[in-house]
Amino acid sequence: MLSDDLPSPQFIAPVRTRATEGKFQRVRVSVLGRYMLADRREFPCQVLEMSPGDAIVIAPAAGLVGERVIAYLDQIGRIEGTVINQIDGGFLMDITASPRKRDKMAAQLTWLANKDVLNLPEDRRHERVVPDIRHSTVVLDDGRRYNCKIIDISLSGAAIELDVRPAIGTPVTLGRMRARVMRHFQDGVAVEFSSAQEMLTVVQQNLRMN
């Protein structure tokens, strides 16, 4: 049962559009979940396009324009908002969230939209998650240091947005962890840790900048 505690391959990332201040560009995803309408009826659903500000939901019951919706989506978590338009086979909903929640959602959507591009052998062994700590540093063996942004992490590696592209196989230090560059993609690199970690909380702690 969903909680009804309503409060009063090219790298793709959801971005704010210039045309309309505060709006986000949706990215194509395929995310399953469940949603609840204001009358507490629950249904399965699938999200086909989503941004940190809205989502296109394929659903058996569209609800009324302006009706409150709560949804729990695989790999995204709980979202809430209102129906802003009915479409064929579903509805478009806006998403009510804090700036911090939107930032994390943007990272989750970036990962979902690019998971085929970022797919690594170790990622099939270990679950990947979007960390709470998003900013870290990469240090090369010659001492050069670069700021980076974490896209996702697992027990054995990470995908990071980075302005430079060290050669595949280059040893680096990410936060406080030794790693090696395993793959390039348009906006960054994927690295594999020198030794797999036992807990994701340890990985997050070691992402902190020195």
Res 16: pLDDT: 52
Name the CA radius of gyration of the chain, rounded: 19
Res 118: pLDDT: 55
Per DSSP bridges, beta strands 68-73 and 54-58 are: unpaired
Strand, coil or helix: 183: strand
Res 121: pLDDT: 43
CA distance 147 to 200: 21
> Would the CATH topology of 27-98 be identical to that of 119-206?
yes
Cross-strand partners of 183? 190
CATH of domain 27-98: 2.40.10.220
Res 7: pLDDT: 40
Res 83: pLDDT: 96
Res 151: pLDDT: 86
* φ, ψ of residue 114 in degrees (nearest 5): -120, 15
Res 18: pLDDT: 41
Res 36: pLDDT: 92
- Tokens 């911090």 identify what position? 100
Top-level CATH class of 119-206? mainly beta
Res 129: pLDDT: 79
CA distance 118 to 97: 27
Indicate the pTM of the whole model: 0.50
Give the domain ranges of the chain: 27-98, 119-206
CA distance 13 to 64: 30
Q: What is the pLDDT along the chain (210 residues), one digit of tens a residue?
A: 554 544 434 445 555 544 334 567 888 888 888 999 999 888 999 999 999 999 999 999 988 999 999 998 887 888 999 999 999 899 999 999 998 888 888 888 887 777 655 554 444 445 677 888 789 999 998 899 999 998 888 888 888 999 998 988 889 999 989 998 888 877 889 898 887 777 778 888 888 765
Q: Determine contact, residues 85/65, Cβ cutoff 8 Å.
A: yes
CA distance 53 to 47: 13
